[in-house]
């Protein structure tokens, strides 16, 4: 595949995050990139699951439709919208390994707080944030039918229980999903993909979070014309 296929979680409350992320990817990519927002308004005929009171974004579960939307062919990348690309996405794409069904950064993420952005409860579970950046080997993810995604529990989905075997989960370096204010602070040169998982700087309560200056600088570059 000569084009990198990227699905980005979309929530209208974070629309600016989607657009800044898309700009950060495109402006650094050395190969063509196709990007699609997973907006629920576009998925009404496919995604019929009721909103779970525990979910903090519209794309908490719709992300698992990525293989279906890719016709279970080739590879696709999913990422949350509250992120910022600091590197060439082709470098992440080059990490694909056909022996795995999915590849993720395998964090040991144990949130310190009980509340995250917009007053949403912070849920704690094994493999938390593994599903925020996923390289999907789509043909090996056929269990993720719309019927399954609409009915499976949150833990069945986010803990990759649908694979039936954790050996099908490959690891990618931590630089490709750096959890802001959780992962150890590093210079930007050592980070490829920032993740403002607790709350992005576009929210008033998080405008001074770690690496906020990089996000605002990217937004300003996106808005520049001429």
Tens-binned pLDDT, residue by residue, of the chain (226 aa):
589 999 999 999 999 999 999 999 999 999 999 999 999 999 999 999 988 877 778 899 999 999 999 999 999 999 999 999 999 999 999 999 999 999 999 988 666 665 555 554 556 568 889 999 999 999 999 999 999 999 999 999 999 999 999 999 999 999 999 999 999 999 999 999 999 998 999 999 999 999 999 999 999 999 998 7
How many domains is the chain partitioned into structurally? 1
Look up the CATH number of the domain holding residue 190.
3.90.550.10
- pLDDT > 90: percent of the chain: 84
Write out the DSSP string of the chain. Answer: --SEEEEEE--GGGHHHHHHHHHHHHTT-SS-EEEEEE-GGG-TTT--PPPPTT--STTTTGGGGHHHHTTT-SEEEEE-SSEEE-S-HHHHHTT--TT-SEEE-------S-SB-GGG-B----TTTTGGGEEEEEGGG-TT--HHHHHHS-HHHHHTTGGGS-GGGEEE--GGGSEETTTSPP--GGG-SEEE--S--TTSGGGTTSTTHHHHHHHHHHHH---
What domain range is 203 assigned to? Answer: 4-223
Beta bridge partners of 104: 171
Torsion of CA 214, 83, 102, 2, to 10 degrees: -70
Identify the pLDDT of residue 173. Answer: 98
Torsion of CA 128, 133, 138, 144, to 10 degrees: 40
Looking at every residue in the chain, the average pLDDT score rounds to 92
Identify the pLDDT of residue 54. Answer: 75
pLDDT in tens, 90-145: 999 999 999 999 999 998 866 666 555 555 455 656 888 999 999 999 999 999 99
């Amino acid at each position: 595949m000569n084009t990198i296929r990227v699905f980005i979680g979309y929530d209208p409350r974070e629309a600016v995050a989607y657009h800044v992320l898309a700009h950060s990817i495109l402006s650094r990519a050395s190969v063509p990139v196709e990007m699609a927002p997973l907006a629920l308004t576009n998925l009404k005929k496919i995604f019929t699951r009721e909103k779970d009171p525990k979910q903090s974004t519209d794309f908490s579960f719709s992300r698992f439709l990525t293989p279906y939307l890719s016709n279970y062919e080739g590879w696709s990348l999913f990422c949350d919208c509250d992120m910022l690309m600091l590197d060439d996405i082709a470098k992440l794409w080059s990490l694909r390994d056909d022996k795995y069904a999915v590849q993720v950064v395998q964090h040991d993420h144990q949130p310190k707080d009980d509340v995250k952005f917009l007053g949403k409860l912070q849920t704690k579970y094994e493999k938390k944030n593994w599903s925020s950046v996923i390289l999907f080997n789509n043909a090996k993810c056929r269990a993720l039918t719309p019927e399954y995604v609409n009915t499976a529990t949150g833990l069945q989905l986010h803990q990759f229980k649908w694979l039936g075997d954790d050996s099908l989960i490959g690891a990618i370096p931590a630089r490709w999903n750096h959890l802001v204010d959780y992962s150890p602070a590093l210079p930007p040169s050592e980070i490829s993909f920032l993740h403002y998982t607790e709350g992005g700087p576009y929210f008033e309560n998080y405008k001074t979070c770690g690496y906020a200056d990089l996000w605002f600088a990217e937004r300003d570059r996106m808005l520049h014309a001429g």
